[in-house]
């Protein structure tokens, strides 16, 4: 039944004149990386121009240092929500959680910085590493400093984080390692302080250009918990930003307009308001 209601709703939306206008709606991009290696070839003005051309009004930018954030804030009209990319700085993408004094080191990075970081990440972590002391220290620090952590990891990592730190705010990258709607729904309902970034999930959400039924119903059930992102982890993805973002818009446009607006930018702006 949902299926047929959905189809008729979609048919109705497609006949309405404002449906086309939603293509220009603003975006909060919840998953950008900007690092010195990329910045050398894709400069501040390239980023600023790319974001402006795609109506990106605000964005989480994960960077390992002050300087790139400061230059980006000065050179771009997009509001930058900075996340400190610690594992890149430590040179440990997958085993940062085994750095013995991780908590102290990250606290020192924050103290010595002139940027008002709003979050930490992205952190890649597998289920087997969830008991490592560095992860515990990271959760302690995030709670103490009121920072959101971007985690790219297994479901067991999220369960462990909330078992020990119920107040921590997590952004689960790519809707988790196993982005199946029933699993995603279960995690959203059990962990109210966790939200989801949907970067890298366009093929799953919109196979063949038709939004998947289970994802469609999940977005309608929890419209306030999702954000979109392009995940610019390489220079190529910065260069392809418009195409990748258009692949996301292609399924946003199949949602009811209020749900699409929530996921496209309202959720990000509510969760990370201007200071
Ligand atoms: Zn990423």
Write down the pTM of the prediction. Answer: 0.90
**Residue 32 falls inside a structural domain:** yes
Residue 167 Cα to ligand 1 midpoint, Å, equals 24
Report how far ligand 1's centroid is from the alpha carbon of 10 (Å).
32
The pLDDT of residue 263 is 98
CA of 32 to the centre of ligand 1 (A): 7
> Ligand 1 centre and the CA of 259: distance in Å?
24
**Rounded to the nearest whole angstrom, what is the distance from the C-alpha of residue 19 to the centroid of ligand 1?**
31
Is residue 275 very low, low, confident or very high in pLDDT (cuts 50, 70, 90)? confident
Counted domains in the chain: 1
143: CA distance to ligand 1 center in Å?
Answer: 22
Question: How much distance in Å is there from the Cα of 232 to the middle of ligand 1?
Answer: 7
DSSP 173-189: GGG-SS--HHHHHHHHH
3-state secondary structure of 114: coil
Q: Has residue 17 been placed in a domain?
A: no
- Residue 89, pLDDT > 90, answer no
Task: Please indicate, yes or no, if residue 2 is contained in any of the structural domains.
Answer: no
Answer whether residue 134 is part of any domain.
yes
What's the rounded Cα separation, in Å, for the pair 220 and 215?
9
Task: Could you list the beta-strand ranges (E) of 70-109.
Answer: 79-84
pLDDT at 265 over 70: yes
Residue 16 lies in a domain: no
- Cα 152 to ligand 1 centre (Å): 8
Here the CATH number for the domain that contains residue 222 is 3.20.20.140
What is the rounded average pLDDT for all residues in the chain? Answer: 92
3-state secondary structure of 131: coil
- Return the pLDDT at 87: 84
Q: How far is the CA of 11 from the centre of ligand 1 (A)?
A: 35
pLDDT at 107 over 50: yes
Å from CA of 216 to ligand 1 middle: 24
- Alpha-carbon span 179 to 9, nearest angstrom: 26
**Residue 20: predicted pLDDT:** 44
Q: Check residue 8 and give its pLDDT.
A: 52
Task: State which residues form the domain around 41.
Answer: 26-271
């Amino acid at each position: 039944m949902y299926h047929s209601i959905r189809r008729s709703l979609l048919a109705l939306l497609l006949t309405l004149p404002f449906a086309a206008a939603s293509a220009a709606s603003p975006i909060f991009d919840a998953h950008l990386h900007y690092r010195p290696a990329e910045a050398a070839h894709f400069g501040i003005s390239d980023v600023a121009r790319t974001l402006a051309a795609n109506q990106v009004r605000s964005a989480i930018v994960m960077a390992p240092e002050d300087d790139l954030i400061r230059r980006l804030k000065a050179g771009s009209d997009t509001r930058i929500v900075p996340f400190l990319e610690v594992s890149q700085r430590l040179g440990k993408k997958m085993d940062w959680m085994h750095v013995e004094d991780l908590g102290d080191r990250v606290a020192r990075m924050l103290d010595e910085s002139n940027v008002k970081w709003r979050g930490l990440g992205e952190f890649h972590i597998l289920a087997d590493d969830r008991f490592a002391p560095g992860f515990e220290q990271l959760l302690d620090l995030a709670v103490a400093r009121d920072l959101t952590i971007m985690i790219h990891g297994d479901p067991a990592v999220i369960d462990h984080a909330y078992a020990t730190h119920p107040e921590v705010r997590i952004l689960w990258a790519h809707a988790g390692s196993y982005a199946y709607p029933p699993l995603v729904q279960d995690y959203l309902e059990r962990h109210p302080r966790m939200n989801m970034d949907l970067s890298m999930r366009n093929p799953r959400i919109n196979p063949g250009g038709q939004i998947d039924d289970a994802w469609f119903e999940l977005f309608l059930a929890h419209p306030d918990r999702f954000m979109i992102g392009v995940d610019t982890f390489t220079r190529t993805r910065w260069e392809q930003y418009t195409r990748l973002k258009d692949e996301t818009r292609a399924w946003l446009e199949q949602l009811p307009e209020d749900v699409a607006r929530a996921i496209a930018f309202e959720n990000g702006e509510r969760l990370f308001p201007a200071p």
